[in-house]
Amino acid sequence: MAILSIQNISKSYAGTDRKIQVLKACSLELDSGKIHAIVGPSGCGKSTLLMLCGGLIQPDDGQIVMGGKNLLELSPLHRASRVGFVFQRFHLIPYLNVEQNIMASCVARPVEDADARCEELMKRLGLDHRRGHIPARLSAGEQQRVALGRALMNRPSLLVADEPTGNLDEENTALLLDLMRDFTEQGGLVLMATHDSAVAGKADYKYVYQDGVFTR
Ligand SMILES: Nc1ncnc2c1ncn2[C@@H]1O[C@H](COP(=O)(O)OP(=O)(O)OP(=O)(O)O)[C@@H](O)[C@H]1O
């Protein structure tokens, strides 16, 4: 059974003179335990689809069902405990250091082994020597890795990642893909947008944009 079901989603934004129709009755069924990659030209609507799947914006029409429940009917905290989000521009909390930023997702759902989990993530992400640094003192690639740590910290069932390798070198891209693969092997679902064809090639499924919809 698909854990994430995108059903006839349409989404437009208000433009200066007319509305910008981004998605037009787009439907996808995404299985857990897999990495799903969304590809398409800049501005086609990848981030829009991801934000819809994370429950961060509302569709004009259609619905998104996760684990049998309408995503928008979950409380924001419940949603945040099930969905980890890596934003294209990271959105780290500027006054918290690396360790505190990763720990921040425990607000949505307490993590029993929080200290050990955070340690493990920092090590795997190559961040343990930067644990005390605030985001302004980190490189873009380091910030991106902190964002992934934060998204995975409370063991969500869905990881939504917008251009998660955009600032990473080859070595760190491989490291990130390894972490994503571990996550799916434990039953998680990864939905990511990427411009990197090598990264998309590592996904189990790829969805390409055409005329308002993404199709496999
Ligand atoms: N809040 C908004 N208000 C108005 N238009 C918006 C808004 N957000 C996005 N858009 C427009 O919707 C379209 C899709 O944007 P989106 O960010 O989803 O594309 P994308 O495929 O993720 O692009 P990129 O690859 O450059 O990140 C673009 O034309 C964009 O200008």
Give the domain ranges of the chain: 31-58+69-215
Residue with CA closest to ligand 1 atom 1: 13
Q: Find out if CATH 3.40.630.10 is the number for domain 31-58+69-215.
A: no
pLDDT given at position 2: 62
**Tens digit of each residue's pLDDT, the chain (216 residues):** 568 999 999 999 999 999 999 999 999 999 999 999 999 999 999 999 999 999 999 999 999 999 889 998 888 888 888 999 999 999 999 999 999 999 999 988 889 999 999 999 999 999 999 999 999 999 999 999 999 999 999 999 999 999 999 988 999 899 999 999 999 999 999 999 999 999 999 999 999 999 999 999
Residue 45, ligand 1, Cβ within 6 A: yes
Residue with CA closest to ligand 1 atom 23: 43
Structure tokens belonging to residue 25: 């009755």
Sign of CA dihedral 175, 176, 179, 181: negative
pLDDT given at position 187: 95
Q: What's the CA-to-centroid distance between 27 and ligand 1, angstroms?
A: 19
Residue 49, ligand 1, Cβ within 6 A: no
Distance CA 206, CA 35 (A): 9
ipTM: 0.98
Distance CA 170, CA 191 (A): 20
What is the value of pTM for the model shown? 0.95
Helices 114-124 and 140-153, interaxial angle, to 10°? Answer: 150
Q: What's the CA-to-centroid distance between 129 and ligand 1, angstroms?
A: 36
Residue 136 has φ and ψ, to the nearest 5°, of -60, -20
Residue 42, ligand 1, Cβ within 6 A: yes
Q: What is the largest CA-CA distance in the chain?
A: 53
Residue with CA closest to ligand 1 atom 20: 43
Distance CA 14, CA 31 (A): 33
- Residue 124's closest CA among 101, 96, 97, 153? 153
pLDDT given at position 186: 94
Residue 20, ligand 1, Cβ within 6 A: yes
Distance CA 137, CA 155 (A): 27
Residue 95, ligand 1, Cβ within 6 A: no
Q: How many helices (H) and strands (E) does the chain have?
A: 7, 10
Residue 139 has φ and ψ, to the nearest 5°, of -75, 165
pLDDT given at position 72: 87
